[in-house]
């Protein structure tokens, strides 16, 4: 051990410096405690211009300057501080306003006048729907205006609390919607004016405007609005009724609705956004008949999770998984056990096809949906985490824990750990809960399970089944349902598997006929290839897809093939004509045919699939067979029985139908990712279904042994 030698004078100097430092008060971090915006903007749709004035009143502490954020395309035309012109520095959308020494604590008032042209390109007929906003932050068009929060349409100031008074002036007949309470819409002096007040919010405001017709109904004191374009106003009664019903359902499930209104707002390009107190749906989406019971329900639930209880994104976005669970999944559970089981199975299929492998990532890294893989993880896997937690803590404790989180964390940034702690408070062992969340949030991938040897014995009148459940590394701590089916009944066990293997046994007086591991898909896991039916998603996830323009199809169909590939996220796939096919090379690749092959080489490349085709089609009911036969465009996706993992698909439009209907069918196929076969008539889907998967490696049929 060595002792450092410090000369006396140096030691004395060090002590004096320390004494001076300790005698000074600790510096207080400069803060903006609260801010009030009084925003008055004018929209010019013809020039795509917004002109605004924002009177900002901020409560500050020890702030040498005020830092405002505007869009980089925005110019400040005038700035007053305390009623007098003030100096400022603007660079890259950041506006810095120095404060005099006597105005650095307390209330400070700035008036900012500004102008900006907002012209983000937006998709009129999008083919890919993986990003819900298509990268559009702010745009003004002849159809309306679109401003996301943070897009710079008003001067933003980082603060703990915000309040807003918003006035929007626009050409006559153009009305604006934002968060908060409606003061009113009016049409004075040849223009339209919309006024909103948002009394308190921790978040910034989005703003949308269009030629809206407003309809309204009330749930108690809460107004529910639709803001639809004239061509869509006939859908208002359906949306008002559905929104009111969803609000009442989630209020009973989670706690009282926290916002002053709810509105369904139409957008001029396809979107599916949820904001505090309203949702924004694209015109095409809004007119689909199933949206009021699916997407709308999901967006209403976001008023509790994501817009009510806020996301602390430093540890991953939990809100999409929880919203999916309480909205989309719970709707299936309310219909039937069979529907809920199929929903969970589909989540596992989507993960296996779209995310497993190089596209995968830990849940803690999920922020938002930008791709099929991010959706499979951030929505699907996260949904399963809540489902498995519910099964561990049991039903009543699970729902009470969610109510507790909502009551305690409303409008506060909230992490996965807050949910974990709520489940622990409800009775879950703290160490087990911590391990559970660590393995599901921190790891990439999913458990891989299989059955070891399973034996069946008969001793007198009693039957005994013994077996092992196996998993590969890395090992997960799991509670896996195992079901024995006998000639008389079914018996279930929950097998605890935390290492490479766990033994189980059943004893029964009735003869066993089969055994299944997790038959109702309660555990998130990596499906084996034979458990995954080939679907549209299989085409999306194909790594080396070749697209073939069949010899029976005219060259005019080449744009349709490109459209289909782009919508499936396969815009970079190789395209060849059937006459260019080299059968031996193509037989090793995933293939998408436009039309059926008519040449010997084309048929040879898909011969193994076509030989097996009749066996697959036998799965169809008579009604489905007739519907496919009537359809004027079909999509059929098959597994190659001779080359495991290979996908062969056919998109077959009838030459007799017009090209527009063919294009419409091609554009829509991507929305039916979970299906193996599709039929369309004049661009409208008329039949869809999934091929039955092959035998599972987690099942045993004793009658075949």
What's the structural domain count of the chain? 4
* Rounded alpha-carbon distances, angstroms, from residue 699 to 89, 442, 497, 617, 694: 69, 30, 17, 24, 11
Q: What is the residue range of 161's domain?
A: 29-211
Q: Are residues 46 and 181 in the same domain?
A: yes
Same-domain status, 368 and 466 = no
Q: Is 37 helix (H, G, I), strand (E, B) or coil?
A: strand
624 and 660 part of one domain: yes
Range of lowest pLDDT (208-222, 243-257, 675-689): 675-689
The pLDDT > 90 percentage for the chain reads: 74
> Do 572 and 672 have their domain in common?
yes
Same domain, 474 and 612: no
Residue 650 lies in a domain: yes
* Average pLDDT over every residue of 243-263: 98
Lowest mean pLDDT among 300-304, 368-372, 641-645: 641-645
Structure tokens at 96: 């810095």
Residue 19 is predicted with a pLDDT of 40
Q: How confident is the model at residue 9 (pLDDT cuts 50, 70, 90)?
A: very low
Q: What is the pTM of this model?
A: 0.88
The angle at the Cα of 583, spanning 579 to 588, to the nearest 5 degrees, equals: 130
CA distance 320 to 380: 9
Residues 331-350: b if buried by 16+ CB within 10 A, e if exposed: bbeeeeeeebbbbbbbbbbb
Does one domain contain both 562 and 505? no
The CA distance from 354 to 379, in Å, is 12
Burial class from Cβ neighbours inside 10 Å (0-12, 13-18, 19+) for residue 73 reads middle
**Confidence band for 356, pLDDT divided at 50, 70 and 90:** confident
Assess if residue 61 is contained within a domain.
yes
Same domain, 588 and 607: yes
Cα radius of gyration rounded to whole Å, the chain: 30
pLDDT exceeds cutoff 90 at 512: yes
pLDDT given at position 46: 97
Integer angstrom CA distances of residue 673 from 58, 342, 507, 568, 637:
50, 15, 42, 9, 11
Whether the pLDDT of residue 655 is over 50: the answer is yes
Q: Indicate the pLDDT class of residue 13, thresholds 50, 70 and 90.
A: very low
CATH value at residue 376:
1.10.390.10
- Alpha-carbon distance of 48 to 71, in angstroms, equals 14
Q: Dump pLDDT digits (tens) for 153-165.
A: 999 998 888 999 9
Give the span between the Cα atoms of 207 and 137, in whole angstroms: 11
Which of 331-345, 470-484, 604-618 is predicted with the least confidence, judged by mean pLDDT?
Answer: 604-618
pLDDT class of 644 with cuts at 50, 70, 90? confident
Q: Are residues 520 and 556 in the same domain?
A: no
Q: What is the CATH number of the domain that holds 486?
A: 2.60.40
pLDDT value at 123 more than 80: no
> If you average pLDDT over residues 341-357, what whole number do you get?
93
Q: In this structure, are 402 and 523 located in the same domain? A: no
- In Å, what is the CA distance from 437 to each residue of 390, 475, 675? 13, 14, 32
Flag whether 265 is in a domain. Answer: no
Rounded average pLDDT over 303-330: 97
* β-strands 501-508, 684-689 pairing: unpaired
Q: Is residue 14 part of a domain?
A: no
């Amino acid at each position: 051990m060595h002792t450092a030698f410090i000369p006396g004078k140096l030691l004395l100097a060090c002590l004096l410096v320390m004494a001076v430092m300790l005698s000074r008060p600790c510096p207080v971090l400069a803060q903006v405690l609260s801010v009030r915006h009084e925003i008055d903007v004018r929209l010019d749709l013809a020039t795509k211009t917004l002109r605004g004035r924002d009177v900002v009143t901020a409560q500050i502490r020890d702030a040498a300057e005020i830092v405002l954020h505007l869009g980089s395309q925005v110019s400040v035309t005038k700035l007053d501080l305390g009623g007098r012109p003030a100096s400022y520095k603007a660079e890259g959308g950041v506006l810095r306003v120095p404060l005099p020494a006597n105005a650095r604590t307390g209330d400070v008032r700035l008036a900012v006048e500004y102008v900006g042209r907002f012209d983000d390109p937006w998709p009129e007929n999008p083919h890919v729907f993986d990003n819900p906003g298509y990268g559009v932050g702010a745009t003004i068009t002849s159809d309306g205006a679109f401003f996301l929060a943070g897009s710079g349409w008003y001067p933003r100031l980082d603060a703990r609390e915000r309040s807003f008074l918003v006035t929007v002036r626009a050409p006559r007949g153009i009305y604006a919607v934002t968060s908060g309470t409606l003061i009113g819409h009016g049409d004075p002096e040849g223009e339209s004016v919309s006024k909103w007040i948002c009394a308190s919010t921790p978040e910034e405001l989005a703003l949308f405007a269009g030629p809206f017709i407003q309809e309204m109904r009330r749930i108690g004191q809460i107004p529910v609005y639709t803001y639809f374009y004239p061509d869509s106003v006939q859908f208002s009664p359906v949306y008002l009724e559905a929104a009111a019903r969803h609000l009442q359902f989630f209020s009973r499930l989670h706690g009282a609705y926290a916002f002053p209104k709810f509105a369904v707002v139409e957008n001029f390009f396809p979107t599916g956004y949820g904001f505090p107190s309203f949702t924004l749906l694209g015109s095409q989406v809004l007119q689909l008949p199933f949206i009021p019971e699916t997407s709308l329900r999901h967006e209403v639930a976001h008023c509790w999770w994501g817009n009510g209880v806020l996301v602390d994104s430093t540890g991953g976005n939990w809100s999409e998984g929880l919203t999916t669970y309480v909205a989309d999944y719970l709707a299936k559970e309310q219909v039937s056990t069979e529907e809920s089981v199929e929903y969970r199975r589909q989540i596992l299929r989507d993960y296996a096809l779209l995310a497993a492998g190089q596209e995968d990532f830990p849940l803690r890294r999920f922020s938002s949906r930008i791709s099929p893989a991010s959706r499979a993880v951030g929505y699907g896997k996260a949904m399963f985490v809540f489902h498995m937690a519910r099964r561990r803590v049991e039903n009543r404790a699970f729902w009470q824990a969610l109510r507790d989180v909502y009551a305690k964390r409303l409008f506060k940034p909230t992490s996965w750990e807050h949910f974990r702690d709520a489940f622990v408070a409800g009775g879950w062992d703290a160490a087990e809960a911590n391990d559970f969340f660590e393995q599901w949030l921190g790891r990439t991938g999913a458990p891989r399970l299989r059955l070891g040897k399973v034996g069946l014995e008969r001793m007198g009148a009693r039957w005994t089944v013994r077996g092992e459940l196996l998993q590969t590394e890395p090992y997960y701590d799991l509670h896996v349902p195992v079901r024995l089916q006998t000639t008389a009944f079914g018996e279930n066990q929950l097998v605890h598997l935390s290492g490479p293997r766990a033994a189980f046994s059943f004893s029964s007086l009735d003869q066993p006929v089969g055994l299944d591991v997790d038959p109702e898909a309660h555990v998130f896991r990596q499906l084996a290839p034979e458990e995954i039916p080939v679907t549209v998603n299989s085409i999306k996830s194909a790594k080396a897809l070749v697209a073939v323009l069949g010899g029976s199809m005219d060259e005019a169909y080449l744009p349709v093939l490109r459209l289909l590939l782009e919508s499936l996220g396969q815009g970079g796939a190789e395209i060849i004509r059937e006459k260019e096919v080299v059968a031996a090379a193509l037989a090793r690749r995933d293939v998408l045919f436009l039309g059926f092959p008519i040449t010997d080489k084309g048929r040879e490349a898909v011969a193994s699939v076509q030989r097996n085709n009749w066996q697959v089609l036998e799965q169809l009911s008579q009604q489905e067979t007739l519907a496919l036969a009537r359809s004027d465009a079909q999509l059929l996706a098959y597994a190659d029985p001779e080359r495991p993992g290979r996908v062969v698909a056919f998109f077959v439009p009838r030459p007799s139908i017009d090209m527009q209907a063919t294009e419409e069918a091609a554009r829509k196929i991507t929305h039916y990712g979970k299906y193996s076969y599709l039929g369309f008539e004049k661009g409208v889907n008329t039949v869809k279904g999934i091929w039955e998967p092959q035998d599972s490696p987690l099942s045993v049929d004793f009658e075949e042994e």
